[in-house]
């Protein structure tokens, strides 16, 4: 590990960053609040939360009308899963670039460019003909690049604005909009397809909301937060830092290179194991988000609850219900996770990773039960899927909070970007496609029927339960290193 300390007295804004503030004193909190009025900070956070809502609505518009898209472009299960994979691949490959830029350049300009890109491309994708399905795939990739700029940088702005107690609360609110936006994406897509009779209209609402977000961003969000200004001035004055871990006395420039940041993060075992735990979460949520409405539809066909969809516009009730479940369980899960973490930290310094591990194990069990009962009772399937999503949502804000207190401030955008890269590369970039490929392989080896169409997806989904258990194990490993790495970041 690399211990660093400014040769001159370190600025309080940097030492008392985020979760460490409560342990160091209250002085910086007073200083920051004088320079940045509370109302202004909450207004900035509100704008960022609103944009995050739109961000995740765009993510899940396609899954909300998946059956319509699959029929329109005549895609197999494997090709359909590739739609989300293209989106996530572009998203994760762009994330490290935006992480590098976010640590060094004007974050407001980067955020604005990202919102403009993903909103414009989403609108344009609604006019693509069925003959040019490859352009539709390309458009999803470009939307992924636009959203990467936002997801990488926005949390660091919130972290700059608030101290430990309020920071955890504000991050929890920010991350509530992941499930809320995801659920509203399903609801919007299914609702517009049902109201207009044309699924293309689902892609024409969020661009208008994105335009409003861009205007609010320009008017409200500053080019630099007070904490960044203070840290920048302090580093400019001191010029150098002292490495005090393995080789005391070695001098380096304050502005470390990207490679040095990556090497330091790779030695941070709390960051490594929690990122792998998040990867397992992403794998499960990516597969569920893409395929659950279609899986429920096939289960209902097998049970003769609904007839097979043969017309141009299919019934979207499963997407509406699943969207509502995602919103409700997301809000409840994120609030529950943040509150549990706040209370349990007082009695156990390892509370955060232990909460994440427990919730992953319970979620995996619930999802497995949901898969097993799907052919017999659709109501029980909905209930156990809801519990599975609830316990997954418990972890969103807690995992980010872990990163923010085990990583030093000047590396946080890079750390978030790397976490995004790894979690999506090994997680939801491949899981929708993998589920589709396994489903195709099972169908090809058996007679084509509605029953085997259901079974193929049921069997392929079991992979998610296994990966969820692995994720719980990764969070348990995080608990072995969390105290040491937190102290290291504070020093």
Give the model's pLDDT for residue 342: 84
Q: What is the CA radius of gyration of the chain?
A: 23
Q: Which CATH class, in words, describes the domain spanning 267-490?
A: mainly alpha
Per residue in 276-324, pLDDT (tens digit) is: 999 999 999 889 888 888 888 888 888 888 777 666 556 667 788 888 8
Per residue in 115-133, pLDDT (tens digit) is: 998 888 888 888 887 778 8
Whether 25 has a pLDDT exceeding 50, the answer reads: no
Nearest to 280 by CA among 424, 175, 461: 424
For the chain, give the percent of residues with pLDDT over 70.
Answer: 84
Q: Determine contact, residues 23/189, Cβ cutoff 8 Å.
A: no
Strand partners, 250: 243
Band the pLDDT of 255: cuts 50, 70, 90.
low
Q: Determine contact, residues 465/364, Cβ cutoff 8 Å.
A: yes
The segment(s) of the chain belonging to CATH 1.20.1250.20 are 36-232, 267-490
> What SS3 state is found at 233?
helix
Per residue in 373-402, pLDDT (tens digit) is: 998 898 999 999 999 999 998 987 788 888
pTM recorded for the entire structure: 0.71
Read off the DSSP letter of residue 426: I
**What is the dihedral sign for C-alpha 228, 234, 240, 244?**
negative
Give the model's pLDDT for residue 473: 96
d(CA 64, CA 222): 35
Whether 161 has a pLDDT exceeding 80, the answer reads: yes
d(CA 92, CA 429): 8
Give the model's pLDDT for residue 240: 39
Band the pLDDT of 251: cuts 50, 70, 90.
very low
Per residue in 454-470, pLDDT (tens digit) is: 888 899 999 999 999 99
d(CA 15, CA 17): 6
Give the model's pLDDT for residue 469: 96
Band the pLDDT of 372: cuts 50, 70, 90.
very high
Q: Determine contact, residues 168/342, Cβ cutoff 8 Å.
A: yes
Read off the DSSP letter of residue 10: P
Nearest to 167 by CA among 225, 108, 99: 225
Give the model's pLDDT for residue 311: 60
440 vs 243, more confident: 440
Strand partners, 242: 5, 251
Query: What is the third-level CATH fold of 36-232?
Result: Growth Hormone; Chain: A; (1.20.1250)
Give the model's pLDDT for residue 18: 35
Whether 232 has a pLDDT exceeding 80, the answer reads: no
Band the pLDDT of 224: cuts 50, 70, 90.
low
Give 185-232 as a 3 state SS string. Answer: HHHHHHHHHHHHCCHHHHHCCHHHHHHHHHHHHHHHCCCCCHHHHHHH
Q: Which of 18-22, 26-30, 92-96, 287-291 shows the highest mean pLDDT?
A: 287-291
CA distance readout (Å), 488 to 119, 214, 264, 346, 485 = 41, 38, 11, 20, 5
Q: How many residues does the chain have?
A: 491
């Amino acid at each position: 590990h690399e211990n660093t300390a400014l040769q001159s007295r370190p600025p309080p804004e940097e030492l008392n960053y985020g979760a460490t503030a409560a342990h160091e004193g209250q002085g910086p909190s007073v200083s920051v609040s004088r320079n940045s009025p509370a109302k202004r900070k909450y207004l900035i956070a509100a704008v960022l939360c609103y944009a995050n809502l739109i961000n995740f609505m765009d993510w899940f518009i396609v899954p909300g009308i998946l059956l319509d898209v699959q029929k329109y472009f005549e895609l197999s299960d494997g090709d359909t899963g590739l739609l989300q994979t293209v989106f996530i691949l572009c998203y994760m490959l762009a994330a490290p670039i935006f992480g590098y830029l976010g640590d060094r350049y004007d974050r407001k300009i980067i955020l604005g460019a990202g919102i403009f890109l993903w909103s414009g491309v989403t609108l344009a994708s609604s006019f693509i003909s069925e003959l040019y399905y490859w352009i539709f795939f390309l458009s999803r990739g470009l939307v992924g690049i636009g959203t990467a700029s936002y997801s990488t940088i926005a949390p660091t702005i919130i972290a700059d604005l608030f101290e430990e107690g309020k920071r955890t609360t504000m991050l929890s609110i920010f991350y509530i909009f992941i499930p809320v936006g995801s659920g509203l994406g399903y609801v919007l897509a299914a609702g517009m397809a049902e109201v207009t009779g044309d699924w293309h209209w689902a892609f024409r609402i969020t661009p208008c909301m994105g335009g409003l977000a861009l205007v609010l961003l320009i008017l409200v969000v500053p080019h630099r937060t007070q904490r960044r200004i203070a840290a920048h001035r302090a580093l400019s004055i001191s010029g150098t830092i002292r490495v005090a871990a393995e080789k005391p006395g070695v001098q380096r420039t304050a502005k470390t290179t990207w490679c040095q940041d990556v090497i330091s993060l790779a030695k941070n075992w709390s960051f490594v194991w929690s990122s792998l735990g998040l990867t397992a979460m992403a794998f499960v949520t990516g597969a569920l988000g893409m395929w659950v409405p279609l899986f429920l539809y096939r289960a209902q066909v097998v049970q003769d609850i609904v007839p097979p969809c043969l017309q141009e516009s299919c019934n979207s009730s499963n997407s509406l219900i699943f969207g509502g479940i995602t919103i409700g369980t997301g809000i409840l899960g994120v609030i529950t996770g943040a509150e549990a973490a706040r209370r349990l930290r007082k009695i156990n310094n390892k509370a955060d990773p232990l909460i994440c591990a427990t919730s992953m194990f319970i979620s995996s069990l619930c999802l497995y039960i949901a898969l097993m009962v799907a052919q017999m009772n659709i109501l029980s399937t909905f209930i156990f899927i809801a519990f599975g999503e609830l316990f997954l949502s418990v972890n969103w804000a807690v995992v980010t909070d872990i990163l923010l207190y085990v990583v030093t401030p000047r590396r946080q955008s890079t750390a978030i970007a790397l976490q995004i890269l790894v979690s999506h590369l090994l997680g939801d970039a491949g899981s929708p496609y993998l589920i589709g490929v396994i489903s195709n392989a099972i169908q090809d080896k058996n007679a084509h029927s509605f029953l085997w169409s259901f079974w193929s997806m049921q069997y392929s989904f079991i992979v998610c339960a296994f990966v969820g258990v692995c994720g719980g194990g990764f969070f348990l490993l995080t608990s072995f290193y969390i105290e040491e790495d937190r102290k290291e970041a504070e020093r």
